[in-house]
Amino acid sequence: MEKKLDPLKMVREAARARRKARKGGNAEEIEIADRSYRNAQKGYDMLVGRKSTDGK
């Protein structure tokens, strides 16, 4: 049986990783964490029917 991922939980985990990277990571880690957060947020926005939260 495949485990379903909660979209909001994915956004929260990505935000947590982003904060951690910004606190003590190098530029590459921060860039990866930012991209991961943006992708998770875009996916959540599509599921709930919002146009976008990133201003684009």
| Domain parsing of the chain, residue ranges | 7-48
CA–CA gap between residue 19 and residue 29 (Å, rounded): 11
- Would you state the pLDDT for residue 55? 57
1-10, 22-31, 32-41: least confidently modelled range: 1-10
Other CB atoms within a 10 A radius of the CB of residue 45 amount to: 16
In the predicted model, is pLDDT for residue 17 greater than 70?
A: yes
Rg value, the chain, Cα: 12
49 falls in which pLDDT band (50, 70, 90)? confident
25 falls in which pLDDT band (50, 70, 90)? confident
